[in-house]
Amino acid sequence: MNGDLNDRLLDVIRAASNTPALVYARPPRPLTGGFWAELVAFSLADPPPGWPSDLVARLMPEAGTARKETIVQGAVAAAGFPTPAVRVTGGTDDGLGRAFMIMDLAPGGPLLSGLAGPGVVTEALRLARRIPDVLASTMAGLHALDPEPVRDLLRQAGTMPVTVPDLLGWLGDMAAGWQRPDLADSARWLLGHQRPASRDVICHGDLHPFNVLAHGGQVTVLDWTAALLAPPAYDLAYTALMLAEPPLQVPAPARGLVRRVGRNLARRFVRRYEAHAGVTVGQDELAWHQAAISLRALTEVAGWVHGGTIGDHADHPYLVSGRQIAARLRAVTGIPALPR
């Protein structure tokens, strides 16, 4: 983050908090993690009343998605869910040249941090036992929130898909525009074979171990870019898919073992969610929603190809596990889909 942007960030916070004398205790520094937004952390000297000193600015490249993310994160934080409180928000014309939110800095590190050194095997086994329950209990807590305030705010904003049918229609249009008939046909198939109506909940849509910070017994959920109002199976489908098809670059002889371990974790995660939420999720429903999730992933990749930016995403999970994701979509729709 350059000096001019640092100054503009401080000006935005001064104006929003009505504290014109506000200064940095520690200037903005980049944070790693994530593929979509730019994150910088900073500290304020003598912050506004009720604010912590340590904050994060999230600078987002697409205004509609940013608006949706900001609405959902702000609403679930206000409802008491463990995600950083949002202090200031703005669009592309509000001082930073990009849509942004300024939020509290969350303590801790990702659930999968620390996998290095001589204790890596022991630590990996410990995490394998812990991760399904942490993700499941966190997801069940999110799904227990009332979705209607979020629905009203998203409908008023009118910027992005709000429900699964909205999303499928949007993905189909995007795929057709990018000359991907395989994905457009898949979207039409899924829209024509929707699952029976189910209650909608607030779905994170991207809940995996790197979007959950752990600090002792406390967890904090980050990155609401993919949030949606959808049946619980939509959220379950994404997390179970990422666990079952872990986007890890491993030698060929180890891939079978990694996938077996991942699928075991996915099954444990679904069972733990059912226990925490007091529900049963059918395998057909889960598979259909995994196909919708797979279509979402493959359409995003198609957009990178169309825009000539796929080289900027070389390590993205949707590319690392692209063949497996495409196979999941085909298994439900019967339509051969290319991974890119």
Range 187-201 average pLDDT: 93
pLDDT at position 89 over 90: yes
Model confidence band, residue 128 (pLDDT cutoffs 50, 70, 90): low
Q: What is the CATH number of domain 3-104?
A: 3.30.200.20
pLDDT at 115: 43
pLDDT at 212: 93
SS3 assignment for the chain = CCHHHHHHHHHHHHHHHCCCCCEEEEEEEEECCCCCCEEEEEEEECCCCCCCCEEEEEEECCHHHHHHHHHHHHHHHHCCCCCCCEEEEECCCCCCCCEEEEEECCCCEECCCCCCCCCHHHHHHHHHHHHHHHHHHHHHHHHCCCCHHHHHHHHHHCCCCCCHHHHHHHHHHHHHHCCCHHHHHHHHHHHHCCCCCCCCEEECCCCCHHHEEEECCEEEECCCCCCEEECHHHHHHHHHHHHHCCCCCCCHHHHHHHHHHHHHHHHHHHHHHHHHHCCCCCHHHHHHHHHHHHHHHHHHHHHHHHHCCHHHHCCCHHHHCHHHHHHHHHHHHCCCCCCC
pLDDT at 116: 43
Range 159-185 average pLDDT: 94
Q: Where are the domains of the chain?
A: 3-104, 109-333
CATH superfamily of 109-333: Aminoglycoside phosphotransferase (APH), C-terminal lobe (3.90.1200.10)
- pTM equals 0.91
pLDDT at position 119 over 90: no
Lowest mean pLDDT among 30-34, 172-176, 206-210, 324-328: 30-34
pLDDT at 144: 97
pLDDT at 32: 77
pLDDT at 204: 98
